[in-house]
Amino acid sequence: MIRKIWDSIKALVMGLGTVFSHLFRKTVTEEYPEERPLLNGFFRGKHHLESCAGCGFCKKVCPSDAITIVKNERIVEKYIIDLGKCIFCGNCMFYCPSKSMRMTDKFELATNSKTNLMHEITEGKIK
């Protein structure tokens, strides 16, 4: 019985020791969304497209079949990424021969409508 009480007190003191030791450490969490997280340059968020040649390589290397390119002869009329399918692997950016595709640090993409996930990009402009 005394042994059990002793073990409980020991566990309590150790627990409190752990809690108090964290009082003096640097905070590692952030007050999101009040504070925006600092993302490194390798972050892959919402896509941005500029001067697309319409070659279609990105569509070929997309593992999720998330890209739709509508062309009128040699002109890209529509470039649509279904963000509901996209897994943000970055293939479309890495394999673009003209480096037209870039992935930004925009990550707040939650929506209650699938239609809003159809990310239509026009030259140099994100809708």
Q: Least distance to ligand SF4 from the beta carbon of 18, Å?
A: 41
Asked if 109 interacts with ligand SF4 (CB under 6 A), we say no
Task: Judge whether 75 and 54 are in contact, CB under 8 Å.
Answer: yes
Nearer Cβ to ligand SF4 (89/118): 89
Nearer Cβ to ligand SF4 (37/56): 56
Type of residue at 13: V
Task: Judge whether 57 and 97 are in contact, CB under 8 Å.
Answer: yes
Nearer Cβ to ligand SF4 (69/117): 69
Distance separating alpha carbons of residues 10 and 16, to the nearest angstrom: 10
Among 43, 55, 109, 118, binds ligand SF4 (CB under 6 A): 55
Type of residue at 46: K
Number of residues that bind ligand SF4 (CB under 6 A): 26
Instruction: Say if strands 67-72 and 47-49 run parallel, antiparallel, or are unpaired.
Output: unpaired
Asked if 43 interacts with ligand SF4 (CB under 6 A), we say no
User: Which pair of tokens denotes residue 10?
Assistant: 């020991």
Q: Which stretch binds ligand SF4 (CB under 6 A): 6-14, 29-37, 48-56, 109-117?
A: 48-56
User: Which pair of tokens denotes residue 37?
Assistant: 């997280």
User: Which pair of tokens denotes residue 88?
Assistant: 């943000």
Asked if 121 interacts with ligand SF4 (CB under 6 A), we say no
Asked if 66 interacts with ligand SF4 (CB under 6 A), we say yes
Which residues, numbered 76-105, are part of the site for ligand SF4 (CB under 6 A)?
81, 86-92, 96, 98, 100-101
Looking from the CA of 9 toward its CB, the CA atoms found within 13 Å total: 6
